[in-house]
Chain A
Amino acid sequence: MPEKDKKQGTNISRRNFLKGVGTGTVAATVAPSVLIGSEKAADAQAGDAIANATIELTINGKSYQVEVEARTTLLTVLRDGIDTGGNNIDLTGAKLICDRGECGGCTVMVDGKSVYACMMLAMDAQGKQLTTVEGLADGDDLHPVQEAFIQHDALMCGFCTPGFIVSSAALLNENANPTLEEIKVGLSGNTCRCGTYPFIFDAVKTASGKV
Chain B
Amino acid sequence: MASWGEASESRLIGKRVTRLSGKDKVTGKAKYTFDINEPGMLYGRILRSETAHATVMGIDLSEAEALPGVKAVIPLIEVGNKLRYQGQEIAAVAAETDDIAKDAIRLIHVDLEELPHVVTEDDAMAEGAPQIREDWANNQSEPNVREDGDINTGFDEAAVEVEATYHTPVQTHVCLETHGHVAKWEDEQNLTVWASTQGVFGVRNDFAQHFELPANQVRVITEHMGGGFGSKFGPGIEGRTAVELARITGKAVKLMLTRKAEHLVAGNRPSMTQQVRAGATSDGRLIAYDMKGYGTGGISSGAGFTGPYVYHVPNSRAERVNVAVNAGNQRAMRAPGHPQGAFAMDSLMDELAEKLGMDPVEFRRINDPNEVRQAQYTLGAQEIGWHRRNSVPGSGTSVKKRGMGVGSGQWGGGGGRGTEARVTINADGTVEAVTGTQDIGTGIRTVIAMIVAEEFGLETTDVRVKVGDSQPGLPSGGSGGSQTTPSVAPVIKTAAAAAKQKLFERIAPLLDAPVGDLRVGTGTIYVVSDRTKTITWKQATGQLGMESISEGGTWEEDLRQNGAAGTQFAEVEIDTQTGAIRVIKIVAVQDCGLAINRLTTESQVNGGVIMGLGQAILEERFMDPVTGRMLNANLEDYKVPGTFEIPEIKSIVFDTHRKVTGVGEPPCIPTPGAIANAVYNAIGVRIRSLPITPDKILDALAEKA
Contacts and interface: CB of A to CB of B under 8 A. Distances in A.
A160 B176 contact: yes
A72 B22 contact: no
B109 A19 contact: yes
SS class of chain A's interface: helix, strand, loop or mixed? loop
A181 to B, nearest CB: 10
Interface in B51-68: 51, 54, 63, 67-68
B226 A159 contact: yes
B18 A150 contact: yes
B225 interface: yes
Contacts of A76: 98-99
B379 interface: no
B98 A3 contact: no
A149 B28 contact: no
A103 to B, nearest CB: 5
B643 A21 contact: no
Interface in B65-105: 67-69, 90, 96-100, 103, 105
B541 interface: no
A134 to B, nearest CB: 5
Interface string A127-165: 000001110110000100110011101011111111001
A80 B40 CA distance: 11
B481 interface: no
B259 interface: yes
A211 interface: no
Nearest to B54: A18
A62 interface: no
Interface string A53-76: 000000000000000010110001
- Taking each of A7, A183, A193, which has the highest tally of chain B beta carbons within 10 Å of its own beta carbon? A193
Contact of B646 (A40, A43, A184): A184
Given A88-B37, A142-B27, A35 B635 contact: no
Contact of B22 (A24, A150, A188): A150
B441 A157 contact: yes
Contact of B606 (A7, A18, A27, A195): A195
B258 interface: yes
Give the interface size bracket for A toward B.
35 or more
B668 to A, nearest CB: 9
Contacts of A14: 112, 114
B440 interface: yes
A199 B600 CA distance: 11
Contacts of A134: 27-29
B625 to A, nearest CB: 12
B442 interface: yes
Nearest to B173: A193
A105 B105 CA distance: 25
B28 A91 contact: yes
B285 to A, nearest CB: 37
A193 B27 contact: no
Contacts of A196: 603, 606-607
Contacts of B560: none
B224 interface: yes
Interface stretch (B42-50, B366-374, B406-414): B42-50
Contacts of B107: 32
B227 A18 contact: no
- Taking each of A133, A156, A185, which has the highest tally of chain B beta carbons within 10 Å of its own beta carbon? A156
Given A22-B90, A92-B37, A159-B32, 7 more contacts: A14-B112, A18-B111, A38-B100, A150-B26, A156-B603, A157-B225, A194-B603
12 contacts: A19-B110, A32-B107, A35-B100, A76-B98, A100-B634, A150-B19, A156-B604, A157-B225, A159-B177, A161-B26, A183-B643, A184-B646
